[in-house]
Amino acid sequence: MTLPTADELQRRASDLLATWRVLDTSIVVAWNGRLSTTAGRAFVRKGRVELNPRLLARAPEQVLTVLTHETAHVATFRLFGANVPAHGRHWRALMRHVGHEPAVTHRIPVRGLRRSRRSFHYLRFCEACGDRVIHTARRFGRCHGCSARDSFLFLRAPATAQGLAALQRLTPAEVRAAFG
């Protein structure tokens, strides 16, 4: 899985705002591993965009489309205020201006992405340096071992003592084999 870093996306979003002649080009872009089947969301007042790494890992070519979609919501708010429709003509014009079809829903398959009520432990394995951490959620960010951001493999097991032991026992070869 090679997704751009949040920093790269943030610069891109800021450039988009400048292209749309928004005076305030400050924006925060973050990956949010807790998003379920939504590709991204925008908090227009805060100037914050969140993208779904589990969903977009299935369609990395869609990342910029989703980023543009959500950033256009922030731009619409800054340019036209809160009283224009979310996906109305203002927003659609901004999307077209930068060469994107103003589509409202994504077509990335969401099978298996809905959050289960069971809880899990996640082994995060860094392919770059072999660092391993077990968490109760998929945590992105920098590897503690080598600072890479995008070399993680995640394996999960039920949040039980047996599940935890199974994750701890896995060898690097077994982790890699699980990903073919």
Contact assessment for residue 37 and residue 57, using Cβ atoms and an 8 Å cutoff: no
**Chosen residue from 137, 145, 150, 153 binding Zn ion by CB under 5 A:** 145
Contact call for residue 126 and Zn ion (CB under 5 A) = yes
Which amino acid type is present at position 66? V
Binding mask 71-110 for Zn ion (x = CB under 5 A): ----------------------------------------
- Binding span for Zn ion by CB under 5 A among 5-13, 19-27, 130-138, 161-169: 130-138
> Out of 131, 134, 138, 166, which residue is the one contacting Zn ion (CB under 5 A)?
131
Selected binder of Zn ion within 1, 59, 64, 128 (CB under 5 A): 128
DSSP letters along 72-108, please? Answer: HHHHHHHHH-TTS-TTSHHHHHHHHHTT----SS---
What is the side-by-side order of every strand in the sheet holding 132-135? 132-135, 120-126, 152-158
Output 60 or 141, the one with its CB closest to Zn ion: 141
Q: Give whichever of 137 and 148 is closer to Zn ion, judged by the CB atom.
A: 148
Q: How many CB atoms lie within 10 A of CB 140?
A: 19
Closest by CA position to 20, among listed 70, 65, 76, 63:
76
Question: Pick from 146, 153, 166, 170: which binds Zn ion (CB under 5 A)?
Answer: 146
Structure tokens at 38: 């939504």
- Which parts of this chain interact with Zn ion (CB under 5 A)? 126, 128-129, 131, 143, 145-146, 148
